[in-house]
Amino acid sequence: MDLSALSKISSKKTQNMQDERQKRFDRLYRMGAEYLKRAKKTDFSDRSLVKKAGICFSQAIENNRRDPRPLVKLGYISTVFRDTKLATRYLNEALRLDPENKDAKKLLAHIEKQSTQAIKNLKKDKGLSLQKVQKLSEAAPVTGKAFYLQTQELILTQIRESFERMQGIQPTLVPINLQKFEEIHQQLETNYEELNQKLDQLEEEGFDIEPLERDFQKLEVNLNLMEDTCKLSRKMIALKKSIQEETSKVQDWNQVLEMHPAPEKKAEIDSHFDEMMDRSDELADELDELEGSGFDIQALMKYYNQFSAACHRLEKLLED
């Protein structure tokens, strides 16, 4: 048997497989870059393009884990949508592969700068970097070109103000913070509708409003992000309340069982055990869903762990 020939054949097959994987990597990376380019043109309002870009970059990584470029792109996407924890993870991995990667370093510096600013804002406002968004100023009625320029200035002012107010904003478990988020979202939405009416008026007067609409989309993205933050915060607060209520119920049962109750009472509690285990699974599924949306669930896990510990205690007491 010619071992040398077998070795050459094996080596050639390995090389062919590596070449194929590299081709797939190159194709997926180019596709991801194209989707990302198109998403940028919409100021990331087209989430489907962003999702497709993310899928392509993730699949590219599976075909070549030594190339930092898709990691940097995923870090960039995460930064755009303010998921700094995930962005930092991607970018640090990119720097592990290429310690001199300029894009990864630049993005990490940007994240650090944002985090520093967010901390300063938190100190100013006891956990919130947001102030109320101002209503649109009551400008003197104008028409024609002056009205166009006035509307353009109002849109740019709103974009700037909304970006400033939303620095460092993340979904919250604190109801009073959610209340402030919702007040801001409501005013942003009111301003958005008023500006939309002005655009309609300009279009009726025969103006080319496409340049204004491109800027207007940036405000729409901020409005959508604020709406998502409010929705997720409401979901988190409701889930926290549910977990705490179930924990309290199980802890009450445990206290009863620790007093060695009559067999009938123990049997009554035991009849609810399977139902509570099903409820435990439902809460775990809700946590998984939140985590799947990109949210860090550690703040909620503290409450779920307390519930889980109470359930384990209940099971042990029922077995005794």
Domain boundary among 125, 156, 180: 125
Q: Say yes or no: 18 and 114 in one domain.
A: yes
Domain boundary among 91, 125, 159: 125
Q: What's the pLDDT score for residue 117? A: 53
Task: For residue 295, tell me if it sits in a domain.
Answer: yes
Q: Say yes or no: 185 and 264 in one domain.
A: no
Q: Say yes or no: 27 and 102 in one domain.
A: yes
Q: Say yes or no: 274 and 211 in one domain.
A: no
Q: Say yes or no: 106 and 206 in one domain.
A: no
Task: For residue 212, tell me if it sits in a domain.
Answer: yes
> Residues with Cβ < 8 Å from 138, sequence gap 6 or more?
none
Domain boundary among 182, 199, 232: 232
pLDDT tens-digit profile, the chain (320 residues): 454 554 555 555 566 777 788 888 988 898 889 888 888 888 887 777 888 888 999 999 888 888 999 999 999 998 888 777 888 888 988 888 888 999 999 988 888 876 665 445 444 444 444 445 555 555 556 678 888 898 888 888 888 887 777 766 778 888 898 898 898 888 888 888 888 898 889 888 888 888 888 888 878 877 887 888 888 889 989 999 999 999 999 999 999 999 988 989 989 999 988 888 888 889 888 888 777 665 667 888 889 999 999 999 999 998 87
Q: Say yes or no: 108 and 190 in one domain.
A: no
Count structural domains, the chain: 3
Q: What's the pLDDT score for residue 125? A: 43
Task: For residue 135, tell me if it sits in a domain.
Answer: no
Q: Say yes or no: 93 and 159 in one domain.
A: no
Which residue matches tokens 């077995």?
Answer: 319
Q: Say yes or no: 81 and 148 in one domain.
A: no
Q: Is residue 285 within 8 Å of residue 221, measured between CB atoms? A: no
Q: Which domain holds residue 277?
A: 234-319
Task: For residue 284, tell me if it sits in a domain.
Answer: yes
Q: Say yes or no: 247 and 154 in one domain.
A: no
Q: Can you give the pTM of this predicted structure?
A: 0.55
Q: What's the pLDDT score for residue 158? A: 85
Q: What's the pLDDT score for residue 249? A: 93
Q: Say yes or no: 210 and 298 in one domain.
A: no
Name the residue among 4, 90, 24 with its Cα closest to residue 54.
90
Q: Say yes or no: 295 and 212 in one domain.
A: no
Q: Say yes or no: 22 and 114 in one domain.
A: yes
